[in-house]
Amino acid sequence: MILVADSGSSKTDWMGYLDGETIKFNTPGINPYFLNEQDISKLILKNETVVQYADQVKEIYFFGAGCSSPDKHEVVSNGLSAVFTKSFISVDHDLLGSVYATCGSSEGLNCILGTGSNICYFDGKKIHDGHHGLGYVLGDEGSGTFFGKKVLLAYLYNKMPALLAAQFKKAFPADKEQIITNVYQKSFPNIYLAGFSRFMANHKDHPFIQEILRTGFQEFVDTNVKDYPKYKNVPCHFVGSIAYYYQDELIAVLKENKIEPGKILQKPIDELFNFILEKEGIIKQAS
């Protein structure tokens, strides 16, 4: 069996190929900045599909948030090896996985707008490093965490329209002290903050939310996309729930900045899976 995984901070999507059949399952996010090797092993062993197929897995191609350096690769690889004991394991950054899903073998910009955000330029053969991917404290412009924090701060600072604020309080009844505890004292504050961005989905036509989306996407473009000299000459692809659910607002901002929208995928796993199978020479059997 070949397993391909795309992991964000919130969730990991898995696809497997065995004897001409494909399987799909999910586990929580696997980010080596928040989990150690033992945490990773324990987390994935909670999934029944993992337990069922662990001994049959021969190759794993894992693309994950936080997997941007050799030491972080090792954390994830060791965590997976403890479960998939008979497997060759390749660990790489989630940016590379999304590049394979969007650009394939063509030139383009590839952006992630999910719980966090990131961007890279792909010349058709390799990724060129940028100055981005600084995480939710220093960066993550245009991400779920970014927008969740914007909405939450508007509510806490009493800058949100009264009727909208009443609906926010109903959706998120936690008081200021509970919010501060969750942000500063509990695990995964980025995921907690990103949860507040869900409020925008049910109210995205409200002018207040529209302005937050417009300025947030513009900040992503100004800080990230425009850092690449060729940003007006190549398609700009996106992966992630924020890009997918608010693609109308995102595309409008891109066009205002004379940027060509490319693919916008909620999840890269299907396209990534097919790319890996084609690369391994077995795409015909899987299709």
One domain for residues 54 and 135? no
Residue 139: pLDDT over 70: no
Are 31 and 93 contacting, i.e. CB atoms less than 8 angstroms apart? no
User: Chain-wide mean pLDDT for the chain?
Assistant: 90
One domain for residues 95 and 125? no
Check residue 178 and give its pLDDT.
86
One domain for residues 193 and 67? no
Q: How confident is the model at residue 11 (pLDDT cuts 50, 70, 90)?
A: confident
With 0-12 / 13-18 / 19 or more C-beta atoms within 10 angstroms meaning exposed / middle / buried, residue 111 is buried
Buried/exposed 221-256: b ≥16 CB within 10 Å, e otherwise: bebbbeebeebeebbbbbbbbbbbbbbebbbbbbee
Are 213 and 204 contacting, i.e. CB atoms less than 8 angstroms apart? yes
Q: What is the DSSP letter of 67?
A: -
Which residue range(s) make up the domain with 91?
2-99+268-286
| CB atoms inside a 10 Å sphere around CB 98 | 29
Number of domains present in the structure of the chain: 2
Percent of the chain with pLDDT over 90: 71
One domain for residues 168 and 245? yes
| pLDDT tens string 221-242 | 999 999 999 999 999 999 999 9
| pLDDT tens string 147-175 | 999 999 999 999 999 999 999 999 998 88
Task: Give the global pTM.
Answer: 0.81
One domain for residues 275 and 228? no
Check residue 143 and give its pLDDT.
93
- In whole angstroms, how large is the CA radius of gyration of the chain? 20
Residue 73: pLDDT over 60: yes
One domain for residues 239 and 273? no
One domain for residues 140 and 73? no
Are 9 and 190 contacting, i.e. CB atoms less than 8 angstroms apart? yes
One domain for residues 114 and 226? yes
One domain for residues 7 and 111? no
Check residue 221 and give its pLDDT.
96
One domain for residues 131 and 252? yes
Are 115 and 10 contacting, i.e. CB atoms less than 8 angstroms apart? yes
Check residue 287 and give its pLDDT.
40
CATH classification of the domain holding 91: 3.30.420.40
The token pair at 19 is: 């004897």
Residues in contact with 277: Cβ distance below 8 Å, sequence separation at least 6, in sequence order? 2, 17, 283, 286
Give the residue, 279 or 285, on which the prediction is more confident.
279
One domain for residues 38 and 111? no
One domain for residues 227 and 134? yes
